[in-house]
Structure 1
Amino acid sequence: MIRTGVVGWPQEAADRYVASGLWRRQPLGGWVWSWADRYGHRTAVVDGSVRLSYREVAERVDSLAERLLGLGMRNGDNLLVQLPNCWEFLGLFLACQRIGVAPLLALPAHREHELAYLADLAEVAAIVVPDPCAASTTSPWPRGSPRIARSAVRSWSLAASRSPGTWTSRRC
């Protein structure tokens, strides 16, 4: 499915990629459990002291996808994402792919002005930023910093437990 306003690949190039096996006509979010079934308990992600198997990644992606749906995200929505390079980013990105939400990726250096502009331009349904309460030196947001809060856009900070199925979102 190509979203309105998105330019697709030229048909000749797409056919060539499919014929060569580079494209398999399966959305990225659909591969998560294929990888889990194939590679199971082998390490998929290393993030500092956190090591996740393919199966653990799949479980966390499904958990977060359910959480996003529970928060009102729907297929076709846009989600502005500003997270550092971490396993939570990977989980959120793949969860978006599973449920048809388009993640718009913002740079860690972006602040409220830039995020507000991107949110308006892309008509995002929500914004995810790092958890300001997390004890992390990688968070680009100082503790207690202001958050974008407009009536049309939901803003959440994201915190994840180290066990599957326990994602916390805080309305900012």
Structure 2
Amino acid sequence: MILHSRQWIDHYVGEGRWGQRTLLDQFAHNRDAHPDREAVVDPPDRPDLVGTPARSLSYEAFGRAVDATAAELIRRGLAKDDIVVAQLPNIWELAMLYLAVARAGGVLTALPLQWRATDVGYVAELTGARLYIAADHAKGFDYIAMGRTLGFEQCLSLAELTAIAEGPVGPLPPVTVDANDIFTLCWTSGTESSLRACS
């Protein structure tokens, strides 16, 4: 998803302000150069957040999880420029999901855990996202049930995402991702509200 005009891209590339290297390129470089180096570490309170043990992954293991997840997302129908909504705490699967969705050609938009149906529904409607990935339960709230109620075509739980990431790497067709493609959509609480008439 490229939002800048070709004129502006050529202008800034010509001036040397913009380049062609992507975050995926940088990650691939680090993975190749330091496969055994620690790439990501869970927060120590992961068990309290999602009920599973905290982990750390090497670049090689993390990269394999990215590949496996990207391949499965493509198999499930994720296409270039599709937007994926995620509601996960800051755990290794969320970091991995940013890269996997980009690798599949999509755009990840991660939402705060405290957002509920009004905010998540607003994002779903505005983006047209069909895939929702969320914690199974966090702090007693059922995110997957909310996602289904909001009408997402596919709702993927954290447990399912982790299993995909740790599973076999399926066919991974080449997807063109340009340095000018949008990597993520970010939201701010308070400036993204919709106006409602008061009676």
Give TM-score, length-normalised by structure 1: 0.75
1:30 positional shift: 3.5
Map of 1:128 onto structure 2: 133
Distance in 2 (alpha carbons) for counterparts of 1:55 and 1:162: 16
1:88 positional shift: 0.4
Q: Structure 1 regions of 5+ residues with no counterpart?
A: 133-138, 168-172
Size of the alignment, in residue pairs? 153
Higher relative contact order (CA 8 A, sep 6+): 2
Amino acid at match of 2:167: G
Match of 1:31 among 26, 29, 32: 26
Q: How has the CA–CA distance of structure 1 residues 153 and 140 changed in structure 2, closer, same or farther, with 3 Å as cutoff?
A: farther
Q: Does the CA-based 8 Å contact 1:39-1:54 persist in structure 2?
A: yes
Q: How has the CA–CA distance of structure 1 residues 81 and 41 changed in structure 2, closer, same or farther, with 3 Å as cutoff?
A: same
Task: Answer 1 or 2: which has greater helix percent.
Answer: 2
Q: Does residue 86 of structure 1 match 2:91?
A: yes
RMSD: 2.8
Map of 1:114 onto structure 2: 119
Amino acid at match of 1:102: V
Q: Which runs of 4+ in 1 moved over 6 A?
A: none
1:44 positional shift: 1.1
Q: How has the CA–CA distance of structure 1 residues 164 and 125 changed in structure 2, closer, same or farther, with 3 Å as cutoff?
A: same
- The structure having more radius of gyration, on CA atoms, is 2
Map of 1:136 onto structure 2: none
Q: Does the CA-based 8 Å contact 1:80-1:104 persist in structure 2?
A: yes
Q: Does the CA-based 8 Å contact 1:77-1:100 persist in structure 2?
A: yes
Task: Answer 1 or 2: which has greater strand percent.
Answer: 1
Give TM-score, length-normalised by structure 2: 0.66
Q: Structure 2 regions of 5+ residues with no counterpart?
A: 45-53, 170-199
